[in-house]
């Protein structure tokens, strides 16, 4: 069994970050708005490659890049081609990802809700997924988007039905990039896993969300079913882990992952006959990941390869 650690979006170590542009400022620019947008996209793609190179230099091969790498890509009043004018850069990034066997994925924000009561929100959510698909396609990589089920209104039964009805209508290429995650407020692990099994969607188990919004069945008992949802993909089983900020703020994420939390998770999965990619959702991003590796090397006898892969 091999465990590969990852982090999300913005490495805290680098002094630069991704740039964005909101619609209000875009409109103020008038005819020069698209010129500014092109410059930002050029910069963001260059920066994405820089982040990937930074990750490889630090033996990090699992990364979630920002779904907003293309500002205003899905805005109804902004129309531009964010693929073909930048195709050389997309392909260069994709080639680097494949050369170094890096796993990348995305996690659209709270506005991507496939079971919304608002039809316009569903249409925009599908547009967001299409954007993600076109980016993966341009890079020629096998990648996916993690989603929550979304709204629980007016009750969970109807909310789950709405998700299924929307999902069934999606084109196959969008169905194939979706993975579902349990959330910290509404849908617990058992509920999301059951839906994943029904719709044949890979399930991303979030250890922290399960702690604050627990399932009626334990993680250890769900584990074989969780792993099975990944059997028809070419990807490792993916999970999330984080540590609560403090006793009063149990939902919020801590800057770092506690060694105890990681070892508790490891104790449950250690006998699983599969490789796992584990995303650390910590505010200190890459620093939290590298800190955990250093702690594991010092406090435990775990085998950690020169590629920072934990082998059991």
| Residue range 212-259, pLDDT digits in tens | 999 999 999 999 999 999 999 999 999 999 999 876 667 777 899 999
Least confident of 1-5, 66-70, 232-236, 290-294: 66-70
Helices (H), the chain: 23-28, 33-57, 87-99, 119-139, 156-169, 172-175, 189-199, 207-212, 219-228, 259-269, 285-299
Question: Once rounded to an integer, what is the mean pLDDT over residues 141-160?
Answer: 96
Q: In the structure, what pLDDT confidence band is assigned to residue 157 with cuts at 50, 70 and 90? A: very high
State pTM to two decimals: 0.95
pLDDT at 274: 97
Cβ neighbours of 255 (radius 10 Å): 14
Percent share of the chain, pLDDT over 70: 99
Domain ranges of the chain: 2-311
* Mean pLDDT estimate for the chain: 96
pLDDT at 219: 98
Asked whether residue 121 carries a pLDDT value surpassing 70, the answer given is yes
Asked whether residue 50 carries a pLDDT value surpassing 90, the answer given is yes
Question: Once rounded to an integer, what is the mean pLDDT over residues 10-18?
Answer: 94
Q: What is the pLDDT of residues 168-208, one digit of tens each?
A: 999 999 999 999 999 999 999 999 999 999 999 999 999 99
Cα(107)–Cα(146) distance, integer angstroms: 5
Cβ neighbours of 134 (radius 10 Å): 16
pLDDT at 249: 67
Tokens of 123: 């249409």
Strands 310-311 and 303-304: antiparallel
**Phi and psi of 14, rounded to 5°?**
-70, 145
Tokens of 139: 């890079």
Higher pLDDT, 67 or 257: 257
Question: Once rounded to an integer, what is the mean pLDDT over residues 150-174?
Answer: 97
Secondary structure (3-state) at 205: strand
Which residues touch 237 (CB under 8 Å, ≥6 apart)?
202, 226, 227, 230, 272, 274, 275, 276, 277
CATH superfamily of 2-311: Divalent-metal-dependent TIM barrel enzymes (3.20.20.150)
């Amino acid at each position: 069994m091999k465990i590969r650690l990852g982090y999300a979006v913005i490495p805290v170590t680098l002094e630069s970050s991704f740039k964005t542009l909101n619609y209000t400022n875009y409109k103020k620019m008038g005819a020069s708005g698209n010129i500014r947008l092109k410059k930002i996209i050029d910069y963001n793609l260059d920066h994405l490659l820089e982040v990937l190179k930074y990750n490889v230099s630090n033996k990090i091969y699992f990364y979630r890049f920002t779904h907003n790498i293309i500002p205003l890509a899905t805005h109804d009043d902004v129309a531009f081609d964010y693929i073909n004018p930048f195709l050389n850069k997309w392909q260069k990034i994709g080639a680097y990802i494949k050369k170094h066997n890096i796993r990348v994925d995305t996690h659209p924000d709270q506005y991507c809700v496939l079971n919304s009561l608002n039809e316009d929100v569903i249409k925009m959510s599908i547009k967001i997924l299409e954007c993600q698909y076109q980016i993966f396609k341009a890079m020629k990589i096998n990648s996916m988007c993690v989603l929550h089920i979304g709204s629980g209104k007016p009750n969970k039964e109807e909310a789950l039905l709405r998700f299924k009805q929307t999902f069934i209508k999606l084109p196959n290429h969008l169905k194939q990039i979706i993975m579902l995650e349990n959330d910290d407020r509404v849908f617990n692990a058992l509920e999301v896993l059951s839906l994943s099994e029904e719709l044949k969607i890979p399930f991303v188990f979030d250890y922290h969300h399960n702690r604050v919004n627990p399932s009626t069945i334990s993680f250890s008992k769900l584990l074989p079913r969780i792993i099975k949802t990944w059997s028809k993909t070419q990807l490792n089983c993916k999970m999330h882990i984080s540590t609560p900020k403090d006793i009063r703020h149990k939902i919020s994420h801590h800057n770092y992952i506690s060694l105890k939390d990681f070892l508790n998770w490891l104790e449950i999965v250690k006998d699983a006959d599969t490789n796992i990619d584990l995303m650390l959702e910590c505010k200190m991003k890459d620093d939290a990941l590298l800190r955990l590796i250093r702690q594991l090397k010092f406090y435990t006898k775990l085998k950690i390869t020169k590629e920072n892969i934990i082998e059991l």
